[in-house]
Structure 1
Amino acid sequence: MKIAFYGSSLLSSYWNGAATYYRGILKALAGHGYDITFYEPDAFDRQQHRDIEPPEWARSVVYPATEEGLRSVLAEAGGADIVVKANGVGVFDRELLEGIVAQSRPEALRIFWDVDAAATLDEMRSDPSHPVLKALPSLDMVLTYGGGPPVVDAYTAFGAQRCEPVYNALDPDTHHPAPRDPRFEADLGLLANRLPDRESRIEEFFLRPAAALPDRQFLLGGNGWHDKGVTPNVRAIGHVGTGDHNAFNCTPRAVLNVARDSMANVGFSPATRVFEAAGAAACLITDAWEGIEMFLRPNEEILVARDGKDVAEILAALSPERAKAIGEAALDRVLAEHTYALRAEQVHGIFQQHQRTPEAA
């Protein structure tokens, strides 16, 4: 079966936190025999910051971020059995969603794949003309990369025929334990782009502990932090490509996960960074959100902080031996229960189930 997938970028993680999610899910789906084409716009300098070359398991189409480029890729939707529009492409999002509905075949499976469901739902609540809200009657299902029951209930209430969370996970071929790298030496590392709906939480969970522990070293990776005021013990190093993620996660004593506002409020939304860090056997500290125990056991496989004071206390008491034990336990858990191979089995089952239903026929 042919899948046409319209997303932000498969080839670049630059200002594109969903890259490893797309890669993990689609690579594993290709293993089930799907013929996948990923369409991404040439926008936001992503093509100048590629992390990977076009993979063998998907056809990659990079199109100009113009109306002509948009028309050229939407014209291919009619040749696919499954047509997917992901949120957050960044250019022509409304037109892409309307286009896949209009240009796909009547018998094709039409999917909106939401990698920021809590934020999308907030927008829909405040905007009756939101393109997703208008498209729901024409879509067969919504898939999300998190959100649990609150997101499923909200999408169903808005009229989605079906909503299924397909959580982030680990591709052990890509993220795994690696040698330490002197470039990333620190007591606590954080990898996160600077975004308006996460900055205040990073100030609380990362910069406040740094100020409280002046004798400890803090490492901040990600785009946008070059002009942020920080204490002398914080080193901002800019964008970190996916090829360096394993070393980044393996070198500091611990690494930190900080959820975006909407995901923290809804819960059940582990970021890709959670599984990347666990896959590298890193000791992970996370801000508190509902549903953590579904993925990793607090105090055994992950450490949970309610605020910056908790982060500082955890870090001050964290021995190398305990950090190592937590990281190894996390790795064992994600390899057993949270790989993209398992997520792809879930998605493959959803696709097959849809084909068998009388409504789909």
Structure 2
Amino acid sequence: MTLVTDPTAPRIALIGATGAVGSTLIELIEERGLRYRELYLVASSRSAGRQIPVGGQTHEVRSLEDFDFGLVDIAFFSAGTSVSRAWVPAAVAKGALVIDNTRAYRMDPDTPLVVPQINYAVLDRPPGSGVIANPNCSTIPLVRVLQPVERRWGIRQVVVSTYQAASGQGHQGIEELLEGTEVALRDPDADLPSERFSPPLAFNVVPFVDELQDSGFTLEEQKMVQESRKILGLPDLDVTATCVRVPVVNSHSEAVWVQTQEPVDRAELVGLLSRQTEVTVHDAENRAAFPTPLKAGHPDHVHVGRVRVSPHNPRGFWLWLVSDNLRVGAALNAVQIAEYALARGFLSGGVR
């Protein structure tokens, strides 16, 4: 992380700084050398007063309820949808550019929903709402591979099944999985913890992520449909999803079936995906190679494997995707949004 005295460098606040995504944001801002002249770590009153080392300095966590957003130019929100709905308007009113990692503003027509590698053009000017929305952790890797396919062959339909890690429920989700695993190993008949995951996730697979909707789909499944359409600019895209929680600590996986308008050649598809920014195709040369959540490779890449064009339908193919949901699916995308906004001069004349 790069602390500077340059008056044009932004003052940054991380709301939800003690959570899983907030902690990852701190790591990434430091790793990528994002310049700043002030950094404020903000969380609930329960976490206020904690001391967190950042970039060789110790920062005290501030209480959100008492924080003055007039102190900052960029505010990253990663503390949950209800917190964003309550506090983002206050941040915007004080002149901060908000990058929100919840679903609170994703479908707001005045708020761009951005994956920089895909639809950076929507950031040609500052957002009218003062907010840039970060997409869902499963949507980001999906659209990263769908856009080049749409441009080359056109897409008729997408069917996706996700395999989502416990870290999608933050530190508490990870702790509950690990605790439940230890309990089950000691006593297979014991009652397992199920505060974050119900039924318990340890040694289990739960095909139900987020709230049930009237349609019978869950909110997570609905988000993937709506967000993919908005990001890709395809309001009628035929996409459907089944979202599943699996007993993996971190990194989401997805099995994706795509039907295209024109026949697809596998070698061309592999080459096309391999040329995408921060995408690694594991079976480009060895078809037996594939990524897994445990050892996918570079944590900032979307990892692709099991590339299979159907022998019975050359307009259909399968992909297997793996990506770090805390980085690629959340914090990294948010930092890249900030980098792009700064490069476009969004804060020129506004950095105080």
Scaled to the shorter chain, the TM-score interval is 0.3 to 0.5
Normalized against structure 1, the TM-score is what? 0.41
Normalized against structure 2, the TM-score is what? 0.42
Q: As a proportion of its length, which structure holds more helix? A: 1
